[in-house]
Structure 1
Amino acid sequence: MIPAFATLLVFQLLGEALVRALAVPVPGPVVGMALLLLALVARPALLTGLKPTAQTLLQHLSLLFVPAGVGVMLHLQRLGDEVLAIGVALVLSTLVGLASAALTMAWLMKRTAPPRSRQEAP
């Protein structure tokens, strides 16, 4: 389990290093996951060593949210003061995300639809 966990941490470290070196506005762990994905595509044999450790981490994922919950509780007064701005940002970002997903899906469906024959055309 330790070598697999170390491998996951190395990919996270690589992601952090790339983000800092290139000044990319993306979280380092996201870049690390992308690098891990590329490594798994290139060498599928890595999956057999990482899978048990990854499944164990996923089973206990809720424990990783405890620090975030504590942070929210510490700043509850500030969240109360900013509730309108936070609410508006959440609603608008949700609507933008839904609209962009719907438009992307419509575009992809139109692009991949089989051509209609002349008899079917109105």
Structure 2
Amino acid sequence: MTPAYKILTVSEWAVAEAAGLYEGSDVDRADGFIHLSTDAQLHETARKHYAGRDDLMILTLDADHPPLKALIRWEPSRGGALFPHIYGDLRTEWVMAARPASVDADGRLRIDP
């Protein structure tokens, strides 16, 4: 299993759950793919893009899950590190866990159990 994570808002997750799929945030759609992070990238992604937010969810995915793996491309981004990007929609049935999260003003990520 290769874990990958998506940070999104509680309201975005509620819409996705109702529809059975997540089509991405405004930024994702503008970029043409859904941004994910690895374990090593998650905290910096949270700090950089979500500081001061308490309305978040962290989705845990298995990037090796066959239907999902077919949609993921590993592409260089921040610092040349390879980030997983989903080219297509994320089906909610592929989400292994969805946990509430927050990022304090200093950028520290807190994920609820």
Q: TM-score higher than 0.5 here?
A: no
Q: Which has the higher strand share?
A: 2
Q: Which has the higher helix share?
A: 1
Q: Report the TM-score, using the length of structure 1 for normalisation.
A: 0.20
- When Rg is computed on C-alpha atoms for both structures, the one with the higher figure is 1
Question: Which structure has the higher relative contact order (CA within 8 Å, separation 6+)?
Answer: 2
